[in-house]
Amino acid sequence: MHVEQRKWSNGSGWEILSDHKLGAKAQLVFVFGSTDLVQDQKLFDEIRSIYSKAEIVVSSASSEIMAGKVAQNTLNVTALHFEKTKIKTLEINLDDVKDSFDVGAHISAHIDKDELSNLMIFSNGNQINGSHLLTGLQFNLSEAVPITGGLAGAYTPFSSTYTGLNNIGTDGKVIGIGFYGEHLKIGHASKAGWTPFGPERFITKSTNNILFELNDEPILDFYKKYLEGLFDNIVEAIRIYPLGIKTENGQERLLRAFLDYDPKNGGALFAGDMPEGAKVRMMRSNVNSLIDAAGEAAESSLQPYEIENPDLAICISCVGRQFVLQDWINEEIDSVTDIFGSDIPMTGFYSYGEIAPQGPRQKSALHNHTMTITTFKEIV
């Protein structure tokens, strides 16, 4: 597997970070960038002119990750050439299906399953119920096939996001990438660095990913008990105190990021399902624990490789971590680089949701507030 990378910015134009003369030999290209740049037809045409035969996957970002750094207002391009691994892609338009579950079901039904070793998903980030998407994806797939990826992001919190396959990023698209054969070794990990506090509560009223009541108490009243007087804007403050859902194995909680509050119906919109009857606790974190968790994710993603290094690492972190890290955001990526070293190509972005198995030999799930890493190594 050969990897080359380049990036574009207003100040510098195109910069080549690594060049293996892939050109028409590249089979897959990842393009991550700001919402305006991923919609730029001229820039897309320039990428297509270089990688004329590749499947080009586009996603907008809340920030971009490339070569061990976090940036904004850039377009990051990572091109791959596989020697023995096959890939297949497909794109679903949300307007063509019934709901988020149907999107996932369509992808899992139509993706070729023979020798499928991994499925990557890049989805619209603000029109999708990520939990339902995962349920649909798993409907027609073996549990042995890990699903990784993420939901597109944007610089302005929870505004429109853009994804595309072999075209500029547009609204309402979900892209699937299937990797095939026994020659591609894949590692994955998702770590949060958040700890629960306060008593456990039950979700007593919710509809899909809209939460109304905990222990029969309106959700905003619940948060006011803890946060009122500490912040000028209580709704903004909720974004840095996600809720953690107790999972079946009881080890790590599934974090859910708060997106918005509707004063008309008293509902809090979260990035994934908030099922009635589930046990939840408020979660908190700090800069050091988030940075440490990113390093732990990098270490866990290397477990399949024994002594060799992966050929590529795709890091997808949550926009919610940005709210906490702020000026320390590069420290999170430094923590990953400390584990990988500078020789492993790295790309990725900050997202509205991360997709990965909850742990070894577990089903994939939608995560929020995590650093999620997928690593690849082609054995030839």
Ordered by start, the domain boundaries in the chain are 2-191+288-378, 195-283
Residue 225 scores a pLDDT above 90:
no
- As a whole number of angstroms, the distance between CA 345 and CA 347 comes to 7
Contact 51, 24 (CB under 8 A): yes
Per-residue pLDDT of 339-363, as tens digits, reads 999 889 999 999 999 999 977 778 8
pLDDT at 366: 92
The percent of residues in the chain predicted with pLDDT above 70, rounded, is 99
**Which residues are CB-neighbours of 77 under 8 A, at least 6 positions away?**
5, 6, 7, 8, 29, 30, 31, 47
The pLDDT-based confidence of 198 (bands split at 50, 70, 90) is confident
pLDDT at 243: 94
Residue 307 scores a pLDDT above 80:
no
pLDDT at 250: 58
Residue 224 scores a pLDDT above 70:
yes
**Is residue 362 classed exposed, middle or buried when 0-12, 13-18 and 19+ CB atoms within 10 A define those classes?**
middle
Residue 219 scores a pLDDT above 80:
yes
- As a whole number of angstroms, the distance between CA 19 and CA 6 comes to 8
The pLDDT-based confidence of 252 (bands split at 50, 70, 90) is confident
Residue 158 scores a pLDDT above 80:
no
pLDDT at 244: 94
- As a whole number of angstroms, the distance between CA 216 and CA 141 comes to 38
Residue 233 scores a pLDDT above 70:
yes
- As a whole number of angstroms, the distance between CA 191 and CA 372 comes to 7
Q: For the chain, what is the mean pLDDT?
A: 93
Region 301-324 average pLDDT: 90
Residue 260 scores a pLDDT above 80:
yes
pTM value is 0.93
pLDDT at 119: 96
The pLDDT-based confidence of 34 (bands split at 50, 70, 90) is very high
pLDDT at 146: 93
Residue 141 scores a pLDDT above 70:
yes
pLDDT at 249: 64
The pLDDT-based confidence of 232 (bands split at 50, 70, 90) is confident
pLDDT at 335: 97
The H or E element that residue 14 is part of is strand 13-18
Per-residue pLDDT of 264-293, as tens digits, reads 999 998 888 999 999 999 999 999 999 999
**Which residues are CB-neighbours of 192 under 8 A, at least 6 positions away?**
252, 255, 285, 293, 367, 369, 370, 371
Q: Which amino acid is at 69?
A: K
The residue among 159 and 65 whose pLDDT is bigger is 65
Residue in this structure with the two tokens 């026994």, named with its chain if needed: 182
pLDDT at 236: 79
The pLDDT-based confidence of 147 (bands split at 50, 70, 90) is very high
The pLDDT-based confidence of 126 (bands split at 50, 70, 90) is confident
Region 237-249 average pLDDT: 85
The percent of residues in the chain predicted with pLDDT above 90, rounded, is 78
Lowest mean pLDDT among 46-55, 113-122, 305-314, 369-378: 305-314
Residue 300 scores a pLDDT above 80:
yes
Region 233-260 average pLDDT: 83
The residue among 152 and 144 whose pLDDT is bigger is 152
